[in-house]
Amino acid sequence: MARILVTGGAGYIGSHTVYFLRKRGHSVVVVDNLSRGDRANVPEGILRVVDLRDTARITSILKEERCEAVIHFAAYISVGESTKAPELYFANNVGGSSSLFEAMQQAGVNKLVFSSTAAAYGNPPRVPITEDQPIAPINPYGDSKVMVERMIELLDRYRGFRSIRLRYFNACGAEPEAGLGERHDPETHLIPLVLRAVLTGEPVTVFGEDYDTPDGTCIRDYIHVSDLAEAHIKAVEHLLYNGADAVFNVGTGLGHSVREVLSAVETVSGRKVPYVSGPRREGDPPRLVADSQKLQRTLAWKPVRADLERIIADAWQFARKLGT
């Protein structure tokens, strides 16, 4: 089993990945500056509170902990915020990554799994989306991830880095038994907002009901965070066993509309979802669904928690524990 550094391990997807890595017997060190992550998401003793831009500290952690590979989550993730303050995304997402890669180079660690995004495709010409579709982000968040992907390609070529880039779709769900789930501040994601509406009675807004989709609302590929975590584990183990560099989409291949999400929440919770209709949210593509055949074939990964009601049941259990 390997020693793995996880950046952003106190965040939503990072913390689930840390949980499953340890369950599998890997030894994990988390670096997180806690600017958006939560200390409570990380088991005692494995968290180092440090900013990725502190290249010297990251280098010594990699060396002292004898890390063999890095899984890199740490990033800001809000599309809306990125359009208002792109420089934050350059500094944190791009600058943080560049510093991390320099530290890896200095510490002699060359295996990297990178958390990328479906936002790399912008408004894709064809759905389901395969990895060879044009890269055309439509917001600075997506651009920041694409810039880092490009750096990684260059490091693969010129520095012998070995990397897997995972472009994932809509992460959701929870691992309530482990006390882990989705809790962003401010929350902008659909499922936690709908669950909050059920719990508080404050209506959620449906952003646009006039899209060219069967019920007029946007379609997304909702992937359970624990399935996503398993994809990272497969990816890092593939690199540890000297597998080839690659980029993979991670999704279920199933598209669900906003209305379908609302009705699945009603089924799971047994309560009505209070909602109001609102205008379209700027920058929302009508339909994003992954073709993740390449990942399934290459790494023998399967989304085993793909059922929407299953996803929502886990998220609902976590939201009820949280109380809002």
- The stretch among 53-61, 68-76, 123-131, 280-288 that binds ligand UFG (CB under 6 A) is 280-288
Alpha carbon 26 to its chain centroid, in Å, reads 20
Q: Please indicate whether residue 141 is annotated as part of the active site.
A: yes
Count of positions on this chain that bind ligand UFG (CB under 6 A): 21
Q: Coil, helix or strand for 45? A: coil
Per CB under 6 A, 275 contacts ligand UFG? no
| Helix-strand-coil split of the chain, %, nearest 5 | 45, 20, 40
Residue 234's contacts (CB-CB under 8 Å, 6 or more residues apart) are: 299, 300, 301
Closest CA to 113 of 71, 145, 161: 71
Per CB under 6 A, 204 contacts ligand UFG? yes
| Count of Cβ atoms closer than 10 Å to residue 213 Cβ | 17
Report CA torsion sign: 302, 287, 97, 246. Answer: positive
Binding track, positions 7-46, relative to ligand UFG; x by CB under 6 A: ----------------------------------------
Which one of 19, 141, 211, 222 is the catalytic residue?
Answer: 141
Using CB under 6 A, pick the residue from 85, 134, 200, 205 that binds ligand UFG.
205
Per CB under 6 A, 129 contacts ligand UFG? no
Tell me how far apart the alpha carbons of residues 256 and 319 are, in angstroms, rounded to a whole number: 21
Using CB under 6 A, pick the residue from 66, 177, 188, 267 that binds ligand UFG.
188
Q: How far is the CB of 110 from ligand UFG (least distance, A)?
A: 27
Taking every pair of Cα atoms in the chain, the longest distance, rounded to a whole number of angstroms, is: 56
Cite the active site residues: 141
Footprint on this chain of ligand UFG (rule: CB under 6 A) = 77, 79, 117-119, 141, 170, 188-190, 193, 204-207, 218, 220, 258, 281, 284, 288
